[in-house]
Structure 1
Amino acid sequence: MAPSRHADEGGQLQLMEPDRVDEEEECFESIDKLISQGINAGDVKKLQDAGIYTCNGLMMHTKKSLTGIKGLSEAKVDKICEAAEKLLSQGFMTGSDLLLKRKSVVRITTGSQALDELLGGGIETLCITEAFGEFRSGKTQLAHTLCVSTQLPIHMHGGNGKVAYIDTEGTFRPERIVPIAERFGMDANAVLDNIIYARAYTYEHQYNLLLGLAAKMAEEPFRLLIVDSVIALFRVDFSGRGELAERQQKLAQMLSRLTKIAEEFNVAVYITNQVIADPGGGMFISDPKKPAGGHVLAHAATIRLMLRKGKGEQRVCKIFDAPNLPEGEHVFQVTSGGIMDAKD
């Protein structure tokens, strides 16, 4: 495992020893442990080739999808699932146990104290956070800031981990990371080395990138996955009402994959979304718009943030939907150093 980096008290990025990373971040059972339960090493390799690297991830697949892997019969799949169940506790737990388990949730700073307070401490791991809004509302700027703040140590409200960035619109700019890293007192080159980037051109490419990501997350300490934007390629590759049902089904499968990644590896998933005109928005709303993706996307995202433009470089973030946060909104500012508190 490659060592991860963290900032010391002076803010400079340092290397963290792999042993410490293992102690802090090992939250899943490796698929290799199935061998000790009597599963053939060749069958374990087939699971890895299919993008399954942990027992936790294995239990998130249906037996139907597992039998679709070449070389795995129904009998083998049954045996593999039984072995995985012995290694994991997949049944009910008490509310107290769940509360204890949720102490592993990490909240990553957005760079703005006011925005962090609105979000209950920052962007959460173990769930999907969606930000939607018009162009220039700050969605991608927040993504760039999170690329840096995620690499801060926990005591500095960071995630002490690496970042994976899937770009569907071609808006990621590595040179934008440099001034943000300098603002946090971090070495820009080291920060960029801890970001893995992929440009997706079709919805199938986007999904396949997620499948390949499991291998990296099983080996290295990742804490954030960004998909910017989640819907763009689906709107291009599917057209008209005739393909809408298929589009929504494929979108649901990809969002399910994002949810599983968040829970399997304890990472925060930050996705951006576009907006569409809402003719039924009402005559009293001057410019009615709603997030794209329909109910499928609405149910998949745990926390939904609506971003809109304010005065000058100011932007407004409103809690649109969240299971544990009250409704509210805060103003933040986009600067050369990333997202910051708004200045009067």
Structure 2
Amino acid sequence: MTLQAGLCTALTSSALDKLRAHGVKTATDFIVKVKDIEVLSQETLIPYKDLCSIQRVLLAEHSAYPTLASCLYEKAIASLMILSTGCQSLDDLLDGGLYTGELTELAGDSVSGKTKLSDDLIRSKLQKVKYTQVFDIYDLFSALDAIMTDLNQQTPVKYPDLKLLIVDSLASLIYPIMGGNISFCQGLICQLGLKLKQLATHYSLAVLVTNYLTSSFNGGKKKPALGKAWSHVPHMRVILQKPVGGQGPSREAVLVKSNRQQTPKSALFSLDKDEPYEPG
């Protein structure tokens, strides 16, 4: 924020001009760059007590309130839940499973097993399942807003004890509008990423989305769809693919992005629960 006269009684137009002359133009400059108020007072000829007054106002306006680490730890433990995917090798890859408060992405080609894994997770771990059919990104925004509205109530009616949110498939909802204004589409993608992360962090949900893989124009390595506007959003990213020489339901999951695990890291599993994959 740019410093402006009148922010406090000590920050007059004259004092502001003197600060700007010494390279102090923003609140960040004053808080971070100014190491010694007394030295700044001598250089600018602004009274020491006035500079202290300005500093107190800026710190009160822009600093975070201190919180005990023990309180943050207790809050994290109380809200944290790890949901098993139902596949031990995939759980190991994800450091235990899907974490509430995080957004995990499964990306892969068609028939790589994204939807199958999502359905298995729902059937095996959740008793109260609600499906919402959406046809485009605007329907998805409406559905997410409805969830947030319900969770904001003191006693949620439609989604009590909600812990897992799955969006399958993200790219198919966005591609229909990609032919329009590119900047507008990227803005929608960023807005969607922010809303999904808000649901994950504010309501302690594990959010799982599925995505396609796309090839670049030069024929390079395939990457998850939706480009750079989406690439920074997931906390965890897993690429699903058929292993080299693999046939049938065998799949390889490659962890390519994680805030806990070393990457890249891979695991083999089977989409057929009755025939678990056993490495030779």
Aligned to 2:145: 211
2: CA distance, partners of 1:305 / 1:264: 24
2: CA distance, partners of 1:317 / 1:99: 31
2: CA distance, partners of 1:295 / 1:94: 36
Q: Secondary structure at the match of 2:67?
A: coil
- The correspondence for 2:186, drawn from 248, 254, 270, is 248
Aligned to 2:268: 331
Contact 1:114 1:341 in 2 (8 A): no
Aligned to 1:7: none
Q: Secondary structure at the match of 2:143?
A: helix
- 1:323 deviates by 1.2
2: CA distance, partners of 1:294 / 1:335: 32
- Say whether 1:315 aligns with 2:251: yes
Contact 1:108 1:149 in 2 (8 A): no
Aligned to 1:118: 93
- Say whether 1:267 aligns with 2:205: yes
- The correspondence for 2:83, drawn from 108, 115, 131, is 108
1: CA distance, partners of 2:110 / 2:65: 44
Q: Secondary structure at the match of 1:304?
A: strand
2: CA distance, partners of 1:205 / 1:147: 22
Aligned to 1:221: 161
Aligned to 1:230: 170
Any idea what the Cα deviations from partners look like across 1:199-230, whole Å, max 9, x if unmatched?
11121111111101124445111110000011
2: CA distance, partners of 1:300 / 1:231: 14
Aligned to 1:6: none
Q: Secondary structure at the match of 1:317?
A: strand
2: CA distance, partners of 1:334 / 1:92: 48
2: CA distance, partners of 1:92 / 1:204: 39
Q: Secondary structure at the match of 2:163?
A: strand
Normalised by the length of structure 1, the TM-score is 0.56
Residues 303/209 of structure 1: CA separation in 2 closer, same or farther (3 Å cut): same
Contact 1:109 1:149 in 2 (8 A): no
State how many pairs are aligned: 205
How is 1:3-152 mapped onto 2 (pairs within 5 angstroms)? 91-93=65-67, 95=69, 97-103=71-77, 104-151=79-126
Residues 342/94 of structure 1: CA separation in 2 closer, same or farther (3 Å cut): farther
Contact 1:112 1:341 in 2 (8 A): no
Normalised by the length of structure 2, the TM-score is 0.68
Structure whose alpha-carbon radius of gyration is higher? 2
Q: Unaligned 5+ residue runs, structure 2? A: 1-63
2: CA distance, partners of 1:134 / 1:331: 17
Q: Which amino acid aligns with 2:277?
A: A
Which one has more relative contact order, counting CA pairs under 8 Å at least 6 apart?
A: 1
